[in-house]
């Protein structure tokens, strides 16, 4: 008999991809979100529009399933989370506390929570040449305001639900996940998608806006690696938070140059020093990930960004925002 799972947040980017991954592995999946996937139908055998900030909806969502993958969150890129501390903290705490307790009451066996590298202290991320962040570096605590504090609180709540109630909980700290079928405009998009959109819309020789001086650094993980890592962690014996990302550091300027090369466009950069920038540097230490799972993300950034750019370019063409691209120039 197929394992029955709930993907909370199945209308979002990671949740949508995870739903497809689980169904492909023979799972029966109930997808739940306040919205349906934006770019293609969900692969879930059952999809329910439910607001998980409500207790009664969490009881409905978790009925009759063995595993819960909790990715539902009010979030976005740095431009969104820097300006919506109340929404991110309140909405996510409500959903997370309700779905954990509903999972306990409904006899769920395993519970996955999607945390974030935003839980790490900002003092460790104030230089582009950042030392990769180890899981134990989260303490003493000084996470990102709003979103980061909520993630840290729910990490502890997952720990308590295992210690006090016996619910097998797993926590991954995501490091900048990207890929196709994700938001690329509207204000909630993250850096890779925003850069792909800006480059896609630009004409050769144009100038595109880059937030900050562009020397801030990040590591980025392609969505296929992310779903694989979630599944491996869920079925491991590791109960403490675990980094899930790559340890390949790149500057934002370097990411822009990479996308320009993929698009075969020579563009100029305008550095908006007043734009939201986040921390100066953030990278994942994957030592524990390799030790626990015997695995780590492996898809090269250039490969993942090529797929992502081509998908966003197609969306812009289909929307009539740009003209179709000749194969000789792509």
Dihedral of alpha carbons 19, 302, 81, 232, sign: positive
Q: Evaluate if residue 197 carries a pLDDT over 70.
A: yes
Tokens 């937030």 sit on residue: 211
Whole-number pLDDT of residue 328: 46
Percent of the chain predicted with pLDDT > 70: 98
Whole-number pLDDT of residue 276: 82
The CATH class for the domain spanning 4-177+221-244 reads: alpha beta
Summarised one tens digit per residue, pLDDT across range 19-67 is: 999 999 999 999 999 999 999 999 999 999 999 999 999 999 999 999 9
- Band of pLDDT at residue 329, cut at 50, 70 and 90: very low
Percent of the chain predicted with pLDDT > 90: 90
Backbone φ, ψ for residue 147 (5° rounding): -60, -45
Summarised one tens digit per residue, pLDDT across range 273-315 is: 988 888 999 999 999 999 999 999 999 999 999 999 999 999 9
Summarised one tens digit per residue, pLDDT across range 69-100 is: 999 998 776 777 777 899 889 999 999 999 99
Whole-number pLDDT of residue 79: 74
- Band of pLDDT at residue 269, cut at 50, 70 and 90: very high
Mean pLDDT of 221-228: 98
Mean pLDDT of 212-237: 98
Q: Evaluate if residue 107 carries a pLDDT over 60.
A: yes
Query: Of 77-81, 175-179, 264-268, which range is least confident?
Result: 77-81
Whole-number pLDDT of residue 84: 80
Q: Evaluate if residue 131 carries a pLDDT over 50.
A: yes
Mean pLDDT of 199-222: 96
- Domain coordinates in residue numbering, the chain: 4-177+221-244, 178-219+249-282+300-329
Q: Evaluate if residue 330 carries a pLDDT over 70.
A: no
Task: Write out the chain in H/E/C secondary structure.
Answer: CCCEEEEECCCCHHHHHHHHHHHHCCCEEEEEECCCCCCCCCCCCEEEECCCCCHHHHHHHCCCCCEEEECCCCCCCHHHHCCCHHHHHHHHHHHHHHHHHHHHHCCCCEEEEEEEHHHCCHHHHCCCCCCCECHHHHCCCCCCCCHHHHHHHHHHHHHHHHHHHCCEEEEEEECCEECCCCCCCCCCCCHHHHHHHHHHHCCCCCEEEEECCCCCEEECEEHHHHHHHHHHHHCCCCCCCEEECCCCEEEHHHHHHHHHHHHCCCCEEEEECCCCCCCCECCECCHHHHHHHCCCCCCCHHHHHHHHHHHHHHHHHHCCCCCCCCHHHC
Whole-number pLDDT of residue 83: 79
Overall fold of domain 178-219+249-282+300-329: UDP-galactose 4-epimerase; domain 1 (3.90.25)
* Catalytic site includes residue 161: no
Whole-number pLDDT of residue 327: 53
Mean pLDDT of 110-121: 97
Cα angle vertex 58, ends 56, 59, to 5°? 65
From the list 21, 80, 147, 161, the catalytic residue is 147
Give the Cα separation of 136 and 255 in Å (integer): 29
């Amino acid at each position: 008999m197929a394992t029955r799972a709930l993907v909370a947040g199945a209308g979002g980017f990671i949740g949508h991809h995870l739903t497809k991954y689980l169904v492909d592995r023979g799972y029966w999946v109930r997808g739940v979100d306040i919205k349906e996937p934006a770019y293609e139908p969900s692969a879930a055998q059952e999809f329910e529009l439910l607001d998980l900030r409500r207790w009664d909806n969490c009881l409905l969502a978790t009925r009759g399933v063995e595993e819960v993958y909790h990715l539902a969150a009010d979030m976005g890129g740095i431009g969104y989370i820097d300006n919506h501390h109340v929404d991110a903290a309140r909405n996510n705490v409500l959903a997370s506390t309700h779905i954990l307790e509903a999972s306990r009451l409904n006899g769920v066996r395993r519970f996955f929570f999607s945390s974030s590298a935003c839980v790490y202290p900002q003092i460790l991320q104030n230089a582009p040449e950042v030392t990769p962040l180890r899981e134990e570096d989260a303490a003493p605590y000084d996470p990102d305001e709003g979103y980061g504090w909520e993630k840290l609180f729910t990490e502890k709540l997952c720990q308590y639900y295992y210690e006090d109630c016996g619910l097998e909980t797993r926590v991954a700290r995501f490091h900048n996940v990207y890929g196709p079928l994700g938001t690329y405009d509207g204000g909630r998009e993250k850096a890779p998608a925003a850069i792909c959109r800006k480059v896609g819309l630009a004409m050769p020789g144009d100038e595109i806006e880059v937030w900050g001086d562009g020397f801030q650094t990040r590591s980025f993980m392609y969505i296929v690696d992310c779903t694989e890592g979630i599944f491996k962690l869920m079925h491991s014996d590791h109960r403490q938070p675990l980094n899930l990302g790559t340890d390949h550091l790149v500057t934002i300027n370097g990411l822009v140059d990479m996308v320009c090369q993929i698009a075969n466009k020579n563009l100029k950069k305008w550095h908006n020093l007043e734009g939201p920038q986040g921390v100066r540097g953030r990278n994942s230490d994957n030592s524990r990930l390799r030790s626990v799972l015997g695995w780590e993300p492996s898809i090269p950034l250039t490969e993942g960004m090529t797929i992502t750019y081509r998908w966003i370019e197609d969306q812009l063409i289909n929307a009539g925002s740009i003209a179709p691209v000749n194969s000789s120039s792509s």
